[in-house]
Amino acid sequence: MQMLRPKTFSRAGNCMRRGKKMQTVLGLDRIDEFESALRGKRIGLITNYSGVDSVWRTNVDIFTERELQIVKLFTPEHGLYGTGAGRGVEDTVYPEHGIPVTSLFGDKVRPGDGDLTGIDVLVYDIQDVGLRYYTYIYTMTYCMEAAARLHIPFLLLDRPNPLGGRIVSGGTLELKFASFIGDYGLPLRYGLTPGELGYYFIRYRNLDMDYRVIELKNYNRDCYFPDTKAVWNIPSPALPDYDTTVCYAGGCLAGATTLSDGRGTAKPFQIYGAPYIHMGEFYRELKREIQDEGILLRQRAFIPSERKYAGEVCYGVEFAPLRKDLDFIPASLILLRTAARLYPEQFALIDNETGRKHLHYLTGSEQAAGYLEGRICLEELLEEWRVQAKEFEAVTEDIRIYR
C-alpha cells in the first residue's frame, strides 16, 4: 500500500543551523499553515494536558480563538488532569469551553462508532516518550483504526520523541504478549515520533485511510529532548523531567517485580529498592556490574508516599544519567538480576490480572525473565535484541520523516 505524506507542509531540517541550535517547531506551532484544513470542519481532538504549543498555549484555546469548531475531545490514560497510572478516567466536560470529553481509558479504550458521529476530522496532539509500554500510542492507533473504518480523515500534529530516533533497543514484542502496554511488533525503545509511528501502523495493519502529519521543523532523528531547546512538557505524572524519562526506558520493568521503582518519590525510575535490600551490599554489586561511564550511582534509602511499600523505608540505589543518549535498558536488567541473585527469597516477578508474569508483557517475551533467573547471560539477551532492533530499523527506514 502506498502511503502519501503531506506535500503542503515542509519537511523537517536539522536542529542545528550554522553551528547554532535552533528550537524545534512543533506541529501545533504551525497552525497558520494547516488551519485551512480544519476550517468549517467538526473536529474531534485527541489530546491531554500535554497539548500545548511552544509557549504553552493549549491547543483547545488556540483552536477556539481561531473559531475552529471542536465538537468533542478524547483523552488517553491519565485523562485531562493527570490521574495516576492505571486508574480509570471518567467522561467529563472541558472547563470554560464546555466541550464534551470522552475518556479512552476507563470503561473503554477504543472509540465506538457512536462516539465519532458528527465528526468530520480527527486531530491527534499528545506528547509521547517513544517507549512501547507507554499507552498513548495505543489510544492513537485505536483512533486511527476507527477513522479508517468510518472514512474520517486523521490529522496528526507531530511532537518530538524525547529519546531521539537514533537508538532502537529492547526486544520486539511477540504477538502472544500483545496488550494495551505493547503491540505491533515494536521494540521497547522504537525511535519514532508519533507521526512516523502512524505511518508504521498504517502499513502494519494495512489500513486505507486519509492520514496526514504536520511535521516538526528544526528536528532530525539525532535530536534528543535537550537539543529541541524546549521547556520540558510533562507527558505523565511520573515523568517530571528528562532524566527520569531516560531511566524510564528500562526502569519501568522494576514495576513487574517486588522492587519499588521509585513511584511515590521525587525521583521515580531513578530510585529503586525494597525493605529487604541490604543497601551497601546491593550498591557495591551494582557498581561492579554496571560498567557505564554515562551512569552515576549512589546508595539511597527512601519512603514511597504511594503504591508499592507506601510508608515503609526502602533501601536501595539512585541512578543519574550523565548522557542525553544513554540507553538505560542494560543497566535496568542488571539491577533486576542483581536483586534476584542476592535476595532470591524476597525478589519475585509479579503476576498480572491474567495470572501471567507482568514482566513478559513489558519486555514482549519470556527472554528477560530467563536472564533474571540465570538461564541465559546478559550478552546473549542483548545480542538477540540488537538483531531484532536492526530488523525493525530496516523495516521502518522508508517511513521515517526525519533523517
Residues of the chain with pLDDT under 50: 1-8, 18
Taking only the tens place, the pLDDT of each residue in 225-254 is: 999 999 999 999 999 999 999 999 999 999
Of the candidates 270, 276, 285, 271, the one whose C-alpha atom is nearest the C-alpha of residue 338 is 285
- What does the alpha-carbon distance between residue 320 and residue 314 come to, in Å, rounded to a whole number? 18
Q: How high is the pLDDT of residue 328?
A: 98
Domain positions in the chain are 16-233+391-399, 242-365
CB 254 within 8 A of CB 138: no
Cβ neighbors of 47 (< 8 A, separation 6 or more) are 59, 60, 73, 74, 75, 123, 124, 125, 126
- What does the alpha-carbon distance between residue 308 and residue 261 come to, in Å, rounded to a whole number? 8
DSSP 22-43: -PPBPTGGGHHHHGGGTTTPEE
Q: How high is the pLDDT of residue 354?
A: 87
Per CATH, the number for 242-365 is: 3.90.1150.140
Cβ neighbors of 130 (< 8 A, separation 6 or more) are 161, 162, 163, 164, 189, 190, 191, 192, 193
Exposed, middle or buried by CB within 10 Å (0-12, 13-18, 19+), for 84? middle
Q: How high is the pLDDT of residue 3?
A: 42
- What does the alpha-carbon distance between residue 177 and residue 391 come to, in Å, rounded to a whole number? 19
Of the candidates 35, 75, 72, the one whose C-alpha atom is nearest the C-alpha of residue 51 is 75
Q: How high is the pLDDT of residue 192?
A: 98
Q: Model pTM?
A: 0.94
CB 382 within 8 A of CB 330: yes
For residue 301, the cross-strand partners are 315
- What does the alpha-carbon distance between residue 72 and residue 98 come to, in Å, rounded to a whole number? 10
Q: Is the dihedral of CA 263, 269, 273, 279 positive or negative?
A: negative
Q: How high is the pLDDT of residue 84?
A: 73
Residue 164: what residue type? G
| Distance from the first to the final alpha carbon of the chain | 22
One CATH from 3.40.50.300, 2.40.50.100, 3.40.50.740, 3.40.50.12170 for 16-233+391-399: 3.40.50.12170
Taking only the tens place, the pLDDT of each residue in 325-362 is: 999 999 999 999 999 999 999 999 999 988 999 999 99
Q: How high is the pLDDT of residue 8?
A: 34
Q: How high is the pLDDT of residue 4?
A: 41
Q: How high is the pLDDT of residue 83?
A: 79
Q: How high is the pLDDT of residue 245?
A: 98
How many CA within 13 A on the CB side of residue 288? 7
Q: How high is the pLDDT of residue 87?
A: 83
Question: Backbone phi, then psi, for 209, in 5-degree steps?
Answer: -155, 160
Q: How high is the pLDDT of residue 20?
A: 67
